[in-house]
Amino acid sequence: MSKGAETREAILETASRLARTVGLGGMTIGTLAASAELSKSGLYAHFRSKESLQLSVLEHTRARFVAEVLAPSLSAPRGEPRVRALFENWLSWDGKEGGCLFVAASSELDDQPGPVRDYLVQVQQDWLDSLAEVFRTGVAEGHFRLDADPEQFAFEEDGIMLSHHMSSRLLSDSLSADRACRAFEHLLDRARIH
């Protein structure tokens, strides 16, 4: 990796941490320059606009999400173990300082058309598709009912995750992880073959 690429990677790592706490809109070239201990002109050379910076942060965060949440989950055995790993890995991801950037950005950008929102919509749709596909393999493995709806399961699982995010972050509910795990167990139980 070249020096320029290393610098850009370090900037994006700092930017993603910053965005999790101040939001994509609250992150500016100036705030990032201060956090990364770089000059504004140096940062401007990497990101020519706030929109470019926001897109780059989302792309960087998506790559980290795949490496830390999705890829390890896909190494679990197919079926319920993989469904469970995906849920547990997401809880760990959301437990980081500032929580899941995608959840926070979804509220921030839901009514702001443009390329940043479009990219986030694609990320979120890919996530729902991944949840549904992992569940679908559980049906194929005989762990879940044949008539179970993978898209409905993904919708409900994502709902549990969103509820956990709000409960733990906004409400500071120390029981949010326990409540999320109980809700997830009920969701699994309804989908299982009895």
Structural domain boundaries in the chain: 49-191
Residues 150, 161, 182, CA angle at the centre, nearest 5°?
Answer: 85
Distance, first Cα to last Cα, the chain = 53
Residue ranges of the alpha helices (H) in the chain? Answer: 3-26, 29-36, 40-46, 50-65, 71-74, 80-94, 101-109, 115-140, 150-169, 176-191
Partners of 144 in the β-ladder:
192
Q: How large a percentage of the chain has pLDDT more than 70? A: 99
How large is the C-alpha radius of gyration of the chain?
18
Q: Which residues contact 159 (CB under 8 A, 6 or more apart)?
A: none
Spatial CA neighbour of 104 closest among 115, 93, 89, 113: 93
pLDDT digits (tens, 9 = 90+) for 150-165: 999 999 999 999 999 9
What architecture does CATH give domain 49-191? Orthogonal Bundle (1.10)
Q: Which residues contact 114 (CB under 8 A, 6 or more apart)?
A: 51
- Mean pLDDT of the 159-174 span: 96
Q: How far apart are CA 184 and CA 102, in angstroms?
A: 20
Spatial CA neighbour of 22 closest among 54, 51, 45: 54
The pTM assigned to this predicted structure is 0.92
pLDDT digits (tens, 9 = 90+) for 66-87: 999 999 999 999 999 999 999 9
